[in-house]
Amino acid sequence: MCLQRRVPSAIGQAGAILCGGFVSACGASLPPPELTTHPPRSYVEVPYPPPAALAEVVPRFEDDRAVWLDGYWAWRGRKYVWLRGGWVLPAPGARYAPWRVVYRSDGMLLFAQGSWYDERGRRLRDPETLVPARTPTNEVTPEDRVSH
């Protein structure tokens, strides 16, 4: 199962090619969102890149309007947390910019988390997840944490 289809690293691109072949061999594909790029203001400086993606199970969902978003790591000030993927129903005209890491020539590392934008490049609220991916519980998955 392909876990991260749009990874900006050389290793991720090789994995995407391998996963793409596997998905094609099975005759199935997941409907992706319309894509865009992040505006420069969406990048934040981070001290290190995110870890490798976690495994996710894609649940069945039947709605031709829905698109699949892969899970990804999001920066939360001092560390990365895993945000599960899932089936979502984007707002009309919404475009998705997948997470991205940029290395500047001065050595600075910048990160932009997966985000939705309108046609003018304004950030939109994330659509509600209709059916989330199943991800094994781990210490960095925020939705598994219990508040005390």
Closest CA to 70 of 104, 19, 18: 19
Angular region, 106: left φ>0, alpha ψ -120 to 50, beta rest: alpha
Which pLDDT does position 13 carry in this prediction?
Answer: 38
Which pLDDT does position 120 carry in this prediction?
Answer: 92
Which pLDDT does position 138 carry in this prediction?
Answer: 59
Rounded-to-integer distance, Cα 19 and Cα 88, Å: 22
Average pLDDT by consecutive 10-residue portion of the chain (148 residues)?
A: 40 37 52 96 96 92 94 94 95 96 96 96 95 75 50
Residue with tokens 């072949």: 21
Q: Are 95 and 116 in contact (CB under 8 A)?
A: yes
